[in-house]
């Protein structure tokens, strides 16, 4: 009885099933999912059953296309856990359903195979990420294949494949060669812009560009040097180089995501992180803000998702104001949505990183300002946004001039203002904004009130609807709306401001200082970027010896020795040849994860012609865009916004004919794991004198690792709690046992027998700490397989256990399963992850119960979009259901169905099911359709139905959910073609006609009894019958009802 765990337990079941099969060998008809599933998976692959057709593949009239796509998986080293396939199963069901409905379905799959985890692994192990990625993909594919998806694998793509990223680079070049024309609201060729510059300069150009563009004439343009012209063009291009704030970690030599920073230091290694500016590629997504926003309206996405995007884009209508600075030629620009409160401004706050801060700071304030900037550079943006409790800031000593009242306004800096947000400066109106209000209160800055009859002694007043402006000169007495337009008018007149629409959406940083991503097709001539010609793509990722940044802080590609571009030979050459005349250095950054995933949905549309096109015109024309997209809501503002941006761009430049990539989108919720915990008892030792542990004492005090770990079960933990004080005096039996055990351990280790040494003693309290246990050592009754646990990791090998019954575990006398021998763990729902040891692998489920059971169970768990915990024990429900379904088609284990006409009852059951399941599938309510199937099979079993008339359509209905069993039954019923080609059954109302209704009769809204009545009865007749019923009379106890409500076909309610 060693090595005895839950998996072993169930494999005994499997053996039993196999025996059963042997027993019935002459009729071999038990539901043998293993044979059935591998048979059909092989047949689908051999016959390419799910290969989507291109339009030209049809001989006659082409079928209507339908495109179902899952969000691009990243092939992580951990493999799939049961949470991953949830969305794939749902989309597979929908894809299969659509095939039954007569569509030519495109349902492809591939890999977003560039990414940080592979690179991190490469840094640790030295293995090339391409290799580990390949291994991971193979494993992924094996796992996916076992679940029986109807993917068209012939169209697979991988972002790290040069044949694929060639086109990612190509799109980058198109972006570089484009600018955004605000008049026509679309991207255009940069050549058009150049010809305008040549003819009339830039004064009339209305294009998206950097803020610091200055005006020039045609003459000036022509006189600029090549370099100057390129610098100017870079300010207009849709992808451009710019100084951007990043989280820089000097020790790691790399930039970190906010995600990778914990409490201001790097998650890995705990090194200091500072914010610094860095020259990087950016994407001018902000140019598309308005279209990204308005485009949402026609999309069939959930409101919450659209709302997230709206919020992310963050459109606000207001005014941009200019504040002159006293004794300085500079001005500060601010954006406000409330220009009506302009007379309420009592200070300005700049972000600490604002470029003017050091210029305007007075000598007296210089050192405090510098200190403050240093401190805030250490805080992450997220931290600064989230922290409202600590109000910090310093005065710069400078004053601005109020544009209207001309009063001096102090200029502060504060880290609640973010540099990358708006202009990085806030005109603070403390009476109308809570953060400004708190800041003013904290630093004793005046809070002028500009609202009529509003008390602002406690809080700011942000209301815009009922408010009247006061103390504001010419704005007095106006409502907010009128005051806004009047204020803007006045400010425009004196050139101190103008109406402006602001978006929160920032341009997206596109450079990564990493190895495992797409190389930019870019080299640098005189420090300015040049594109490699399209015909020389792809520019392949070079080999390097180590995947770390270089010693001088350059990205990993800085290690490549062959990473220079020969512009004459048009090839990559050795760095030694760089002469800056014909051979130039190549870009060292690579593209981010979202580069390859922003356009992949169009790549799947193409089959033959992938070499010369990202996708051919014909393919794009036929498939258009994704009809149904499924994935996690964590992509709401990243991937889903970037791919919309690229789609719109490619449409503008004539490469696509749709301007949205995903018509309908469903978010799947996360499947959570049930972690298991045991409880470690911890005690410690102290030297003779409290608080004065000498070094010598320290070395004498026994370390925890010298003892075998002592574990208690959940039962004992709930009795004792996290801490046990004065445990020697505890009356709890379990504590006494622990105490005895510790005593005996000490004796064995001779802790206190150290003659001549400092006296040490054990502390009086115990701490009980939960420790994650791998869930595979826990059975469905939450009992721990102690031997398995001990063998799991070396630190547990000597562990001791106190069982639920308070006795010490002994391998010989108290094995799992014997009465009284249980050691119960506690369970907690957490995210499913390797580190929490709560991962459940779909392979194991397929092995034990089969893919059809897995598919059904994942759907049965609950609504697709909600997070829900996984519990393997529940699987037996759907497994039993499949066995019952199988039995419907068999008599005494022999396949047998009747050709006779089905009963009225059975037809009713069938058509009820058709209606409900179809409705559910259209609404993506897969959990309820599984229930419906269960009800249907329960009813048909009850009816002893085995008519072909019922069982054939039933198999088709169930095929999208449990395709293997459905195919097998379909074949047994005599069909040669795959069930996936069968037509979906048609619902017929006539079988469901009811003429009576069981009315619930309620009194004051509480149901008391039911009454079967004909549906033909009128309201009055129903009331009459109900009132005559003796149960009604009993409820009324002789009183007259105040009111009787009859809703025909629904309810009766009597008000007493």
Partner RNA sequence: GCUCGGAUGGUGGAAUUGGUAGACACGUUGGACUUAAAAUCCAAUGACCAUUGCGGUCGUGCGGGUUCAAGUCCCGCUCCGAGUACCA
841 makes contact with RNA (CB under 7 A): no
Nearer to RNA by Cβ, of 686 and 1025: the residue is 1025
349 makes contact with RNA (CB under 7 A): no
Contact set for RNA, span 621-680 (CB under 7 A):
632-639, 670
Give the nearest distance from C-beta 864 to RNA in angstroms.
9
Number of Cβ within a 10 Å radius of residue 461: 19
Instruction: Check whether the bond before 538 is cis (ω within 30° of 0).
Output: yes
Helices and strands: H and E segment counts in the chain: 33, 39
Nearer to RNA by Cβ, of 573 and 867: the residue is 867
1022 makes contact with RNA (CB under 7 A): no
Which residues sit opposite 585 in a β-bridge?
564
Work out which of 55, 276, 500, 884 binds RNA, going by CB under 7 A: 884
Give the nearest distance from C-beta 710 to RNA in angstroms.
29
Nearer to RNA by Cβ, of 181 and 671: the residue is 671
Work out which of 567, 871, 891, 903 binds RNA, going by CB under 7 A: 871
Number of Cβ within a 10 Å radius of residue 920: 17
| Alpha-carbon dihedral 175, 177, 183, 184, rounded to 10 degrees | -70
Stretch that binds RNA, among 150-158, 301-309, 568-576, 770-778 (CB under 7 A): 301-309
Nearer to RNA by Cβ, of 9 and 767: the residue is 9
Give the nearest distance from C-beta 464 to RNA in angstroms.
14
Stretch that binds RNA, among 33-41, 351-359, 498-506, 707-715 (CB under 7 A): 498-506
Decide: helix, strand or coil at residue 198: helix
Number of Cβ within a 10 Å radius of residue 459: 11
Furthest-apart CA atoms within the chain: distance in Å = 108
880 makes contact with RNA (CB under 7 A): yes
Q: C-alpha 238: how far from its chain's center?
A: 27
- CA–CA distances in Å: residue 666 to residues 591, 620, 676, 977: 28, 23, 32, 32
Question: What is the full DSSP assignment across 201-229?
Answer: TTTT--B---TT-----HHHHHHS-HHHH
The region that residue 327 occupies, defined by phi over 0 for left and psi between -120 and 50 for alpha, beta otherwise, is left
Stretch that binds RNA, among 138-146, 242-250, 556-564, 605-613 (CB under 7 A): 242-250
Stretch that binds RNA, among 52-60, 222-230, 700-708, 933-941 (CB under 7 A): 933-941
Give the nearest distance from C-beta 511 to RNA in angstroms.
5
Stretch that binds RNA, among 201-209, 381-389, 476-484, 739-747 (CB under 7 A): 381-389
Contact set for RNA, span 467-496 (CB under 7 A):
none
Give the nearest distance from C-beta 293 to RNA in angstroms.
13
Q: Dig out the tokens for 1056 from the structure.
A: 């007493």
1005 makes contact with RNA (CB under 7 A): yes
Distance, in Å, from the CA atom of 42 to the CA atom of 47, rounded to the nearest integer, reads 9
Nearer to RNA by Cβ, of 201 and 877: the residue is 877
Nearer to RNA by Cβ, of 303 and 995: the residue is 303
308 makes contact with RNA (CB under 7 A): yes
366 makes contact with RNA (CB under 7 A): no
H helix runs in 298-365, sequence order: 303-313, 357-360
Give the nearest distance from C-beta 61 to RNA in angstroms.
37
What is the per-residue binding string for RNA in 251-290, x denoting contact by CB under 7 A? Answer: ----xxxxxx-----------------x-x----------
126 makes contact with RNA (CB under 7 A): no
385 makes contact with RNA (CB under 7 A): yes
**In this structure, what are the phi and psi dihedrals at residue 38, rounded to the nearest 5 degrees?**
-70, -35
Give the nearest distance from C-beta 1032 to RNA in angstroms.
12
817 makes contact with RNA (CB under 7 A): no
What is the per-residue binding string for RNA in 325-344, x denoting contact by CB under 7 A? Answer: --------------------
Q: Dig out the tokens for 621 from the structure.
A: 């024309």
Q: Are 105 and 94 in contact (CB under 8 A)?
A: no
Work out which of 142, 307, 534, 579 binds RNA, going by CB under 7 A: 307
Gap between the terminal Cα atoms of the chain: 68
Nearer to RNA by Cβ, of 102 and 270: the residue is 270
Contact set for RNA, span 764-783 (CB under 7 A):
780-781
Size of the site for RNA (CB under 7 A): 99
397 makes contact with RNA (CB under 7 A): no
556 makes contact with RNA (CB under 7 A): no
Q: Dig out the tokens for 239 from the structure.
A: 């992808």
Work out which of 382, 540, 757, 1024 binds RNA, going by CB under 7 A: 382
Distance, in Å, from the CA atom of 535 to the CA atom of 533, rounded to the nearest integer, reads 6
Contact set for RNA, span 706-765 (CB under 7 A):
none
Stretch that binds RNA, among 302-310, 348-356, 734-742, 790-798 (CB under 7 A): 302-310
| Alpha-carbon dihedral 850, 853, 854, 857, rounded to 10 degrees | -160
Give the nearest distance from C-beta 693 to RNA in angstroms.
37
Give the nearest distance from C-beta 1043 to RNA in angstroms.
6
What is the dihedral sign for C-alpha 729, 734, 737, 743?
negative
In this structure, what DSSP letter does residue 561 have? S
Distance, in Å, from the CA atom of 660 to the CA atom of 918, rounded to the nearest integer, reads 28
Give the nearest distance from C-beta 207 to RNA in angstroms.
21
Work out which of 2, 47, 304, 835 binds RNA, going by CB under 7 A: 304
Work out which of 7, 116, 701, 1011 binds RNA, going by CB under 7 A: 116
324 contacts: CB under 8 Å, gap ≥ 6? 331, 400, 401, 403
1047 makes contact with RNA (CB under 7 A): yes
Give the nearest distance from C-beta 448 to RNA in angstroms.
24
Contact set for RNA, span 201-240 (CB under 7 A):
none
398 contacts: CB under 8 Å, gap ≥ 6? 325, 326, 327, 328, 360, 361, 362, 410, 411
519 makes contact with RNA (CB under 7 A): no
Distance, in Å, from the CA atom of 508 to the CA atom of 638, rounded to the nearest integer, reads 10
Q: Are 661 and 647 in contact (CB under 8 A)?
A: yes
In terms of DSSP bridges, do strands 522-525 and 528-531 run parallel, antiparallel, or are they unpaired?
antiparallel
Contact set for RNA, span 71-90 (CB under 7 A):
73-74
> Which residue has tokens 């009992």?
783
807 makes contact with RNA (CB under 7 A): no
Closest-CA residue to 886 (of 954, 820, 800): 954
Nearer to RNA by Cβ, of 505 and 601: the residue is 505
500 makes contact with RNA (CB under 7 A): no
831 makes contact with RNA (CB under 7 A): yes
In terms of DSSP bridges, do strands 626-632 and 662-668 run parallel, antiparallel, or are they unpaired?
parallel
Give the nearest distance from C-beta 1006 to RNA in angstroms.
6
Stretch that binds RNA, among 43-51, 333-341, 676-684, 858-866 (CB under 7 A): 858-866
The region that residue 1037 occupies, defined by phi over 0 for left and psi between -120 and 50 for alpha, beta otherwise, is left
Stretch that binds RNA, among 202-210, 310-318, 488-496, 985-993 (CB under 7 A): 310-318
Work out which of 585, 928, 975, 1036 binds RNA, going by CB under 7 A: 928
User: 935-970 burial by CB neighbour count: b if 16+ within 10 A, else e?
Assistant: ebbebbeebebbbbbbbbbbbbbbbbbbbbbbbbbb
Give the nearest distance from C-beta 862 to RNA in angstroms.
3
Closest-CA residue to 452 (of 347, 341, 336): 341
Distance, in Å, from the CA atom of 797 to the CA atom of 785, rounded to the nearest integer, reads 13
Q: Dig out the tokens for 426 from the structure.
A: 């806030």
346 makes contact with RNA (CB under 7 A): no
Contact set for RNA, span 12-31 (CB under 7 A):
13, 16
């Amino acid at each position: 009885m060693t090595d005895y765990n839950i998996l072993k337990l169930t494999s005994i079941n499997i053996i039993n099933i196999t025996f059963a099969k042997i027993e019935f060998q002459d009729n071999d008809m038990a539901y043998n999912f293993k044979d059935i599933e591998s048979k059909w998976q092989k047949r689908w692959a051999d016959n390419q059953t799910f290969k989507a057709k291109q339009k030209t593949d049809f001989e006659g009239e082409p079928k209507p296309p339908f495109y179902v796509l899952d969000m691009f998986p990243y092939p992580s080293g951990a493999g799939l856990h049961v949470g991953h396939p949830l969305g794939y199963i749902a989309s597979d069901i929908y894809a299969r359903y659509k095939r039954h409905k007569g569509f030519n379905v495109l349902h492809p799959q591939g890999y977003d195979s560039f990414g940080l985890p592979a690179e991190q692994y490469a840094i640790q192990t030295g293995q090339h990420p391409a290799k580990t990625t390949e291994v991971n993909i193979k494993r992924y594919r094996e796992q996916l294949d076992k679940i029986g998806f109807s993917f068209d694998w012939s169209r697979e793509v991988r972002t790290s494949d040069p044949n694929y990223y060639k086109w990612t680079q190509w799109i980058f070049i198109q972006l570089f060669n484009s600018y955004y024309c605000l008049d026509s609201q679309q991207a255009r060729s940069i050549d058009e812009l150049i010809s305008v510059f040549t003819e009339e300069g830039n004064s009339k150009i209305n294009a998206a560009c950097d803020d610091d563009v200055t005006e020039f004439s045609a003459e000036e343009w022509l006189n600029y040097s090549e370099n100057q012209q390129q610098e100017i063009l870079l300010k207009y291009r849709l992808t451009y180089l710019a100084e951007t704030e990043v989280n820089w970690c000097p020790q790691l030599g790399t930039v970190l995501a906010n995600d990778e920073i914990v409490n201001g230091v790097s998650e890995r290694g705990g090194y200091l992180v500072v914010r610094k500016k860095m020259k990087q590629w950016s994407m001018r997504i902000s140019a598309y803000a308005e279209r990204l926003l308005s485009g949402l309206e026609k999309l069939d996405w959930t409101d919450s998702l659209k709302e997230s995007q709206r919020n992310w884009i963050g459109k606000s209508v207001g005014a941009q104001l200019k504040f002159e600075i006293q004794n300085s030629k500079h001005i500060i620009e601010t954006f406000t949505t409330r220009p009506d409160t302009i007379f309420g401004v009592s200070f300005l706050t700049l972000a600490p990183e604002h470029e003017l801060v050091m210029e305007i700071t007075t000598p007296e304030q210089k050192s405090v300002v510098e200190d403050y900037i240093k401190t805030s550079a250490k805080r992450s943006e997220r931290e600064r946004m989230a922290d409202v409790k600590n109000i910090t800031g310093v005065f710069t000593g400078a004053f601005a001039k109020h544009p209207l009242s001309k009063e001096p306004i102090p200029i502060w800096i504060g880290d609640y203002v973010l540099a990358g947000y708006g202009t990085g400066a806030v005109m603070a109106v403390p009476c109308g904004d809570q953060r400004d209000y708190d800041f003013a209160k904290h630093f004793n800055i005046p809070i002028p009130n500009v609202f009529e009859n509003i008390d602002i002694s406690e809080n700011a007043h942000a209301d815009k609807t009922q408010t009247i402006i006061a103390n504001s000169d010419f704005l007095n007495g106006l409502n907010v709306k009128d005051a806004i337009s009047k204020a803007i008018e006045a400010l425009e007149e004196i050139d101190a401001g103008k109406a402006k629409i602001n978006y929160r959406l920032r341009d997206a940083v596109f450079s990564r200082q990493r190895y495992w991503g797409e190389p930019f097709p870019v080299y640098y001539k005189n420090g300015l970027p040049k594109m490699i010609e399209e015909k020389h793509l792809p520019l392949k990722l070079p080999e390097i010896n180590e995947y770390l940044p270089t010693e001088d802080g350059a990205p990993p590609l800085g290690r490549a020795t062959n990473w220079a571009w020969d512009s004459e030979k048009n090839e990559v050459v050795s760095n030694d040849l760089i002469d800056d005349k014909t051979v130039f250095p190549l870009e060292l950054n690579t593209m981010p994860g979202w580069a390859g995933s922003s356009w992949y949905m169009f790549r799947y549309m193409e089959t033959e012609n992938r070499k010369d096109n990202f996708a051919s015109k014909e393919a794009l024309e036929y498939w258009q865009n994704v009809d149904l997209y499924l994935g996690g809501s964590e992509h709401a503002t990243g991937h889903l916004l970037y791919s919309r941006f690229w789609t719109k761009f490619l449409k503008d430049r004539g490469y696509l004919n749709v301007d949205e990539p995903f018509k309908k989108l469903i978010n799947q919720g996360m499947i959570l794991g049930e972690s298991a915990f045991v409880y470690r008892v911890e005690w410690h030792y102290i030297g003779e004198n409290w608080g004065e542990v000498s070094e010598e004492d320290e070395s004498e005090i026994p370390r925890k690792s010298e003892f075998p770990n002592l574990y208690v079960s959940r039962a004992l933990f709930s009795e004792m709690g996290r801490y046990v004080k004065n445990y020697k005096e505890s009356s709890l039996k379990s504590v006494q046992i622990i105490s005895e055990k510790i005593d005996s351990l000490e004796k064995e280790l001779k802790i206190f027998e150290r003659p001549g040494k400092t006296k040490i003693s054990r502390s009086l309290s115990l701490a009980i700490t939960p420790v994650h246990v791998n869930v595979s050592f826990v059975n469905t009754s939450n009992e721990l397989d102690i031997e398995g646990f001990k063998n799991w990791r070396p630190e547990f090998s000597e562990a001791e256990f106190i069982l639920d019954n308070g006795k010490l575990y002994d391998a010989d006398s108290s094995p799992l399963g014997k009465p009284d021998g249980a050691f119960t763990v506690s369970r907690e729902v957490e995210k499913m992850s390797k580190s929490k040891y709560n991962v459940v692998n779909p392979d194991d489920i397929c092995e034990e119960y089969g893919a059809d059971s897995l598919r059904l169970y994942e759907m049965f768990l609950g609504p697709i979009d909600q997070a829900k915990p996984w519990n393997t024990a529940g699987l037996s429900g759907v497994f039993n259901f499949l066995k019952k379904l199988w039995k419907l088609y068999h008599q005494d284990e022999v396949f047998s169905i009747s050709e006779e006409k089905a009963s009225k009852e059975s037809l009713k059951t069938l058509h009820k099911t058709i209606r409900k399941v179809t409705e559910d599938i259209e609404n993506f309510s897969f959990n309820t359709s599984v229930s419906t199937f269960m009800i249907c099979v329960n009813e048909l079993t009850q009816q002893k139905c085995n008519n072909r008339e019922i069982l054939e359509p039933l198999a088709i209905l169930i095929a999208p959910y449990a395709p293997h069993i459905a195919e097998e039954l379909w074949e047994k019923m005599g069909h040669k073609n795959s069930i996936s080609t069968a037509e979906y059954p048609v619902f017929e109302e006539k079988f469901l006609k009811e003429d009576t209704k069981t009315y619930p009769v309620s009194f004051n809204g509480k149901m008391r009894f039911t009454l079967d009545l004909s549906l033909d009865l009128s309201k009055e007749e129903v009331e009459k019958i109900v009132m005559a019923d003796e149960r009604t009379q009993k409820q009324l106890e002789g009183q007259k009802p105040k009111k009787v409500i009859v809703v025909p076909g629904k309810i009766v309610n009597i008000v007493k």
